[in-house]
Structure 1
C-alpha cells in the first residue's frame, strides 16, 4: 500500500469516526442517575445503580467510540437505534505483547463503555452485531470522583488522577480496580475543552 492510498484510507476512517461521534453527541439525551453520598475535600462519593454497559477494547479511544456509535445507531440484534447516555467511561489499560525476540513489551489500549438507558435490562438490551462489543452489567457501586480542570493543558488527566488517589489514601478509603475517565460532553478525551471527571470504585 503506497503513501497516497494509506493517507486516503486513514482520512476516510477518520471522517467516518467523526461523523459517528457527532451522531452520538446529538443523540445523548439521558444521564446515568446516581445519588451523592457525601463530599470529602475535593472528591464526591456517589452511589450508582445497576446499569447495562456496552463496551469494547481497541487500540485507540476513537476506534472504540466508532464501534459503540455503530451499535447505538442500529448495528445490533434489534436493528434499532438505542438512546445514547452520558457520561462515556474510558479506561486506559496496558496490553502485554510478545516481540519477535520473545521479550514482553507493553502498549496502552482503550476500554470504552457507554451506559444504556435505565429502561434496558440484561434481557432486553439487544446484542451487538460486532463481536468486539460486549454487554456487561455494573452492579450497584460506590464511586469517588474528582473533576478534571481545563488547565494545565498537558497531563491534566494524570494530575487529576494523582490527586484523586492521594485524597483517597488520606481519607482512609479503599479503592477497587483502576481509575477511569468520565466524559460528559463526549468531546475527544484529552482535548482542551469539555467537562470530565476521574473516578474509581470504592469498597
Structure 2
C-alpha cells in the first residue's frame, strides 16, 4: 500500500509539473506577441466595451466553411508576413487572428493585425496568395471573452449573448461579428482566449 501511495503522489507531482510547464509556456507566448491596444469604456463580467485606435490589417478572402477558410487564409497570411511570397524582411506575428463571415463565393475573411510600428505605406506590398492590406479607422467594439477550443456553436452562443447585452443598452451593431483567436493550436483549451467582437454603429 505504501508503494502504491508513493506512485500516486509521484503521478500527481508529474501532472502538476506538466500543468505548470504548459501554463508557463502559454504565459510566455501570450506576453511576447503584440496585441492591439484598446481602452475599456465599460465592463460587465466577461463583456467589455472597448475603444480601439486605428490599425493596419492584412487580410485574405477564402472559400469553404469556416475551418477550411481559416486554414486557407492563415497559410496565405503566414506566407506574407514570413516573406515566403514576397521580397523583404519578415513581419512579426501578432494576436489575435480575426475571422469574419462575408458573402458570395469567398465567404470568409481572415485577418492578421500588423505590428503597431508600421503605417500602411511602410509595409511591403503583397505579391501573391490573395492577400490585401487595409487601414481600419479608430472604432468602438463590444467584446465577449471565453475559453475552450471554440467551434461554430460556441461562437454563435456567445455572439447571441453579446447582442442581447448590447440591445439592453440601446447599442446597435454595425456589420457582421468578428471572431478572434489569441492562441496557437497547441495551447490547452482551458488556457485559450477567444472573443466575439461587434462594432458599434
CA RMSD of aligned residues (A): 2.6
Corresponding position: 1:38 with 2:47 = no
Equivalences for residues 1-203 of structure 1 within 5 A: 29-40=33-44, 42-59=46-63, 60-75=69-84, 78-95=87-104, 109-130=107-128, 132-150=130-148, 155-187=153-185, 194-203=192-201
**Could you tell me how far 1:126 is from its partner in structure 2?**
1.0
| Deviation readout 1:44-102 (Å, 9 max, x if unpaired) | 01111111100011121101000000100014655210011111110122325xxxxxx
1:6-60: CA deviation from partner (whole Å, max 9, x where unpaired)? xxxxxxxxxxxxxxxxxxx89x721111111111464201111111100011121
Alpha-carbon distance between aligned partners in 2 of 1:133 and 1:154, rounded to the nearest angstrom: 25
Q: Counterparts of 1:94 and 1:192 in 2: how far apart (Å)?
A: 30
| Alpha carbons of structure 1 residues 171 and 187: separation in structure 2 relative to 1, 3 Å | farther
Kindly report structure 1 stretches of 4+ aligned residues shifted beyond 4 Å.
151-154
The TM-score, its normalising length taken from structure 2, stands at 0.73
- Extract unaligned runs of 5+ from structure 2: 1-28, 64-68
Whether contact under 8 Å (1:88, 1:186) holds in the other structure is: no
Contact 2:101–2:176 at 8 Å: present in 1 too? no
Q: Partners of 1:62 and 1:43 in 2: how far apart?
A: 28
> How many residues in Structure 1 have an aligned counterpart in Structure 2?
165
Where does residue 18 of structure 2 map in the other structure? Answer: none
Q: Quick check: which one's helix share is greater?
A: 2
What per-residue deviation string (whole Å, max 9, x for no partner) do you get for residues 138-174 of structure 1? 1000010001343897711110111111111111112
Provide the rounded CA distance (Å) in 2 between the counterparts of 1:125 and 1:33: 20
TM-score relative to the length of structure 1: 0.72
